[in-house]
Amino acid sequence: MKAVKSIATLCILISGVISSAFAAEKNNWHVGSLFTSQKVNDRDLNTFGLTVGYQFNQYFSVQTRYSKGTSGSSEVLDFTNFDKVSLDRDIKYQGSILIKAAYPFANQFSFYGIAGYSKTKAEQDLFESTTDSQGNLTGVNTSPPSMTFTENGFTYGVGVDYHVTKNVELFIEYQVLPDWEPLSGISQSWDSINLGFNYRF
């Protein structure tokens, strides 16, 4: 009888150790970083930021992202032969909360879709310059010097994860952001190619 109790106790202990090991392998939380190359009406904007997420199971997770602008865009608009306006755009910050649905395939890869809410604070500067008939600069007008605005709304995209190890994954994705609307009546398409990595723990 004692032998049976000892064996039962040993089995329970082994089961507990195995269960703990499997629980430890789940690696539900992850942190990482990402670089984004964004386009607004064929103008390039770049950001760099951090990601934090939680995985509920093999297929579903939630993720938050926060990025800062690293480089903006500039375009020159010609109104007359002597008047030009330079339009500079830059992202101050960009944050989002996303639901991610993934489907594993080919061993170390997962295809996934994301959907959620995105908020971006951006800055736009206008510089008007005038020249004479010889092309010499005669004046610069920076009024108004800058305009800050916020874009927020629904965002979605698709991507691929590559699981380098149990803890490390690389990803590439295509994301559609809310339309860029710096002025009333102006709406421009906005999308992004994102590269990054996540570390699970």
DSSP string, the chain: -HHHHHHHHHHHHHHHHHHHHHHHTT--EEEEEEEEEEEETTEEEEEEEEEEEEE-SSSEEEEEEEEEEEE-EEEEEESSSSEEEEEEEEEEEEEEEEEEEEEEETTTEEEEEEEEEEEEEEEEEEEEEEE-TT--EEEEE-SS--EEEEEEEEEEEEEEEEESSSSEEEEEEEEE-PPB-SSTT--B-EEEEEEEEEEE-
In a domain, 19, yes or no: no
Residue 1 has pLDDT above 70, yes or no: no
Domain span including residue 171:
28-200
Tokens 């865009």, located at residue: 73
Is residue 171 one of the residues assigned to a domain? yes
Residue 135: CATH number of its domain: 2.40.160.20
pLDDT at 172 over 90: yes
Taking the C-alpha atoms of residue 176 and residue 153, their distance in angstroms, rounded to an integer, is 11
| 11 part of a folded domain | no
In a domain, 154, yes or no: yes
pLDDT for 145 equals: 60
> Residue 58 phi/psi, 5° resolution?
-65, -25
Identify the bridge partners of residue 54 per DSSP, sorted by sequence position. 29, 62
Give pLDDT, residue 162: 98
Q: Specify the pLDDT at position 36.
A: 97
Q: Is the pLDDT of residue 173 over 80?
A: yes
- Quick one: average pLDDT of 161-188? 89
pLDDT value of position 125: 74
Give the closest residue to 66 by CA, choosing from 100, 32, 102.
Answer: 32
pLDDT digits (tens, 9 = 90+) for 66-119: 999 997 666 665 555 546 666 678 899 999 999 999 999 988 999 999 999 999
Q: How far apart are CA 154 and CA 185, in angstroms?
A: 19
Give a yes or no: residue 21 inside a domain.
no
What span, in angstroms and rounded, lies between the C-alpha atoms of 102 and 29? 16
Residue 120: other Cβ atoms inside 10 A? 25
Number of domains present in the structure of the chain: 1
| 14-67 pLDDT, tens digit each | 444 444 444 445 679 999 999 999 998 878 999 999 999 999 999 999 999 999
Residue 38: inside a domain: yes
Neighbours of 136 (CB within 10 A): 8
The answer to whether position 15 is within a domain reads no
Residue 179 lies in a domain: yes
Task: Assign 8 a pLDDT band (cuts: 50, 70, 90).
Answer: very low
